[in-house]
Amino acid sequence: MFIEVNGIHYHVEKYGEGKPLLLLHGFTGSGADWGPFKRDWSDDFQLIMVDLIGHGKTEHPEEAEKYTREQTAESIAYILAELKIESAYVLGYSLGGRVALSFGMMYPELVKHLLLESSSPGLRTSEERADRKESDERLADRIQREGIESFVEFWESIPLFHSQQNFLSEETRKALHEKRLDNSAIGLANCLRGMGTGVQPSWWDKLATFKIPTTLIVGALDHKFCKIAEDMLQKLPNGKIVVVEEAGHTVHLEKPSQFAKIVVDELHNGKDV
């Protein structure tokens, strides 16, 4: 289905019964990325799979200002209201995790439990954000200049995803590649400009007052995000970290069975607000 928010048509899929579980994908992904987990989760949860702005079947406007963190969080709140969902569990991966955390910060009454896979509260200092903003802008320009196929080839080669070579079959990697190609150049470029890490204000100073139960899921081989999760855990009053052995940044792809069980266990056994 499509839900119109501020003139933008968001693609949303609902599946299953039970308590609502909002699923937010990573950069270059779509709500369809969560399809393999329908069998594991749909008996317990109603899955709400949203294509973020600029991704999948959701529209990709040419104005970068429509891609901000604030507008994206507001759009998600509107979508839940349209679906008559008063509050939901929220799971986000990477970019989707940053969106999920922002959503929880801005609309805490709508979130029962937050699960963040390989994500962060943003960069700590203004200097780091300025450097990253410049880097993101160069990458956005490259996407528009060289096109989606060239960018996807580059994106899949970065060190963050090296573990996929060991843990994903050739068939799975090929399917992932094809799904990434379904995105648009302007959509991905504007996503970097509007809600990339460089332009996202930091939530680090707000973590100590964030009372929503928060589970941080990371792969043991993803050293950068393991450290981020450990630092977050020191600040979160209601946080927990789950480290998955022999997995990198994309835990849900590299260890899908284990990841599926972690989500169910955390939401059944965890404390909700």
Longest dimension (CA), the chain: 48
User: What pLDDT sits at residue 51?
Assistant: 97
Mean pLDDT of 245-271: 91
pLDDT tens readout for residues 62-87: 998 899 999 999 999 999 999 999 99
Backbone φ and ψ for 119, nearest 5 degrees, come out as -135, -175
3-class SS letters over the chain: CEEEECCEEEEEEEECCCEEEEEECCCCCCHHHHHHHHHHHCCCEEEEEECCCCCCCCCCCCCHHHHCHHHHHHHHHHHHHHCCCCCEEEEEECHHHHHHHHHHHHCHHHEEEEEEECCCCCCCCHHHHHHHHHHHHHHHHHHHHHCHHHHHHHHCCCHHHCCHHHHCCHHHHHHHHHHHHCCCHHHHHHHHHHHCCCCCCCCHHHHHHCCCCEEEEEECCCHHHHHHHHHHHHHCCCEEEEEECCCCCCHHHHCHHHHHHHHHHHHHHCCCC
Q: Residue 273: pLDDT above 60? A: no
Q: Which residues contact 225 (CB under 8 A, 6 or more apart)?
A: 118, 119, 120, 218, 219, 249
pLDDT tens readout for residues 143-188: 999 999 999 999 989 888 888 888 888 888 898 899 999 999 999 9
What's the rounded Cα separation, in Å, for the pair 24 and 30? Answer: 8
pLDDT tens readout for residues 25-55: 999 999 999 999 999 999 999 999 999 999 9
pLDDT tens readout for residues 216-237: 999 999 999 999 999 999 999 9
Q: Which residue is associated with the tokens 């139960």?
A: 213
Indicate left, alpha or beta for 246 from its phi (over 0: left) and psi (-120 to 50: alpha): left
CATH fold for domain 2-269: Rossmann fold (3.40.50)
Q: Which residues contact 83 (CB under 8 A, 6 or more apart)?
A: 3, 12, 14, 20, 48
Q: Residue 14: pLDDT above 60? A: yes
User: What pLDDT sits at residue 200?
Assistant: 86
User: What pLDDT sits at residue 271?
Assistant: 58
pLDDT tens readout for residues 192-217: 999 999 898 899 999 999 999 999 99
Domain spans of the chain, in order of start:
2-269
User: What pLDDT sits at residue 17?
Assistant: 86
Q: pTM for this one? A: 0.94
pLDDT tens readout for residues 74-127: 999 999 999 999 999 999 999 999 999 999 999 999 999 999 999 999 998 889
The size of the chain, in residues, is 273
